[in-house]
Structure 1
């Protein structure tokens, strides 16, 4: 989801580039290379943009950074939230929209993908290569840190958060198909509903998530710059306050009653032990809730250049690396050894620690160090155009 254009909040947004994964950007003009995207128009920033670099929109870099912070914090809450109804409610609230927002932006920056040679190269180097590299890295880390030397390696069964890379690969390849349909979003919703009642497909490329999150990517493909300008109006920002407050109260009420598996979109209704009709019902209901909260999130994202704007181009690193820290908490039984982490002080410490860690992982030095695996050029592997 991740190209960030530049520009002023009031100026029209430049044409979208192709997206990058939770936050990748090309060396020269593209951001979200998949993680994320390819191709952005380079324009000189209008007056008042705060000096944002040409070719990037500060608003989208801000959104990418804030979204990746929410992703990391929610992952860090998993081992410490049990026993706290409030923490579980916050977890459910964040999980309702943090990945949908990420995916929607990825779809928005995939609008120009048509399968041209340079776009296919970006798809391979920006998504496929990081997927393979981090599948190996996470497998080796589990074998070492969890004392599980026989843990199998599989390219068809994404490990932990690498599912997003393979999903984005599939979604972007399908972008030209969705642009040819008259009503792409309703079709994507039907496919998501069918996926939610189809058991046994979760282990193959995490197909369950690919299908159930598909509508957010397709919606991003359908969006135009004026939609983001509308979201950032003052009236929408004000309306977002009671919306989020109401959602938080509802999450607190439903927290003990609702299974978290629905938010992961990784399991079908029959596999969860529910009647078939609950799958489409929950798919449509969660889509509506996620869309409303995503609008509220995007409404609050600052449009000006801030101290964290530069971190938006490094969110792919933050996304792929923070998983090692979260898994280390699990493999090394940190919570069991320090029970205070499950209390209020521990939840605050975990939240601050996760936000600080992912922020450091998004910094330019880390991005440069990992460029060989997250943004490799690999000219030797491709034919010259």
Structure 2
């Protein structure tokens, strides 16, 4: 008799929590520096939301996929979404830009990074002490002067340890640790860290961008040694908060759990809306009071719910299942011109 594997709603619920934080984190970007409540919230969000998301992505990437499958599921969607942002920028926002596929727009770096992580992980795992090597690479990339957005290389390296840790993670360990004592300790740790962000003044001499993984130490106003030590602390906070919240998230199916299966649609389309509001209005720059801050957060929650509609998820699922030949045919049908090297590469793939 065939049995159906029960869905793990803990990770669905965790992803719901994280995607809401992703939306909030972006929408408060324009006003957090002048709003004490949003300032603390920004620090709290960026300290762990991407590490946790990437850790979960790694957990669900244990199965190796072929290059062809990865290209179809990640690179083709990346090109499609880059095109969407490009059209939004030039037609609606009237922002001067080009279709720089080597320089991801807005949050699309994550899709490109996911492709690189999944492609490289099987080979990296063959190296001795690969976790230590990945952390070392994440620390040292901050000393380089490589363009911060070129193929998202800095963020790819900085966040790679979280992805690798996810691929190694054993769900049974979390089950064993989810007892009242450890949950109390986790909650105490989260409250202590939040209190630190509220009460401790010295960290405010730094920027929340120390958690972004995008910028080198010189940009952040740090020397190499200071930057490495700071990033090591960021790693510790990222891992600590990721596991602490995992101990507290509900394992039960809730009314909102379905959103955890639709995070790609939210991730993509909230960026388009944010880019429009940022480029065409001043509304996000004028969130000054606590009441306005709460309204903005409520808006972000409602937006997450709206963007998790089945129609938008159907769209993202369709894009992730496009085959390369069909994709290039659609571009030709609509007279869309991509950089020449993209066509050369696709023709080589089709020839094989």
1:1-385 equivalence runs, <5 A: 44-45=4-5, 56-113=7-64, 115-116=65-66, 120-148=67-95, 150-252=96-198, 253-254=200-201, 256-335=204-283, 339=286, 341-376=287-322
**Residue 230 of structure 1, CA deviation:** 3.5
Q: Structure 1 residues 106, 290: closer, same or farther in 2, change over 3 A?
A: same
SS of 2:322 mapped into structure 1 = coil
Whether the 8 Å contact between 2:12 and 2:258 is mirrored in structure 1 is yes
Whether the 8 Å contact between 1:311 and 1:364 is mirrored in structure 2 is no
Whether the 8 Å contact between 1:202 and 1:208 is mirrored in structure 2 is yes
**Residue 172 of structure 1, CA deviation:** 0.5
Most deviating of 233-242 and 170-179 = 233-242
Unaligned runs of 5+ in 1: 1-41, 46-53
Q: Whole-Å Cα distance in 2 between the matches of residues 43 and 162 of structure 1? A: 38
TM-score (norm 1): 0.79
SS of 1:88 mapped into structure 2 = helix
Q: Whole-Å Cα distance in 1 between the matches of residues 288 and 89 of structure 2? A: 24
* Aligned-residue RMSD, C-alpha: 2.2
Matched residues, number: 326
Whether the 8 Å contact between 1:329 and 1:335 is mirrored in structure 2 is yes
Q: Structure 1 residues 363, 241: closer, same or farther in 2, change over 3 A?
A: same
**Residue 246 of structure 1, CA deviation:** 1.0
Whether the 8 Å contact between 2:59 and 2:167 is mirrored in structure 1 is yes
Q: Whole-Å Cα distance in 1 between the matches of residues 211 and 279 of structure 2? A: 24
**Residue 146 of structure 1, CA deviation:** 2.5
**Residue 322 of structure 1, CA deviation:** 0.6
Most deviating of 256-265 and 367-376 = 367-376
Q: Whole-Å Cα distance in 2 between the matches of residues 151 and 380 of structure 1? A: 27
Q: Whole-Å Cα distance in 2 between the matches of residues 360 and 377 of structure 1? A: 29
**Larger helix proportion of the pair:** 2
Whether the 8 Å contact between 1:231 and 1:298 is mirrored in structure 2 is no
**Residue 233 of structure 1, CA deviation:** 2.9
Q: Structure 1 residues 375, 141: closer, same or farther in 2, change over 3 A?
A: same
**Residue 231 of structure 1, CA deviation:** 4.5
Whether the 8 Å contact between 1:92 and 1:251 is mirrored in structure 2 is yes
Q: Whole-Å Cα distance in 2 between the matches of residues 263 and 219 of structure 1? A: 18
Q: Whole-Å Cα distance in 1 between the matches of residues 62 and 186 of structure 2? A: 27
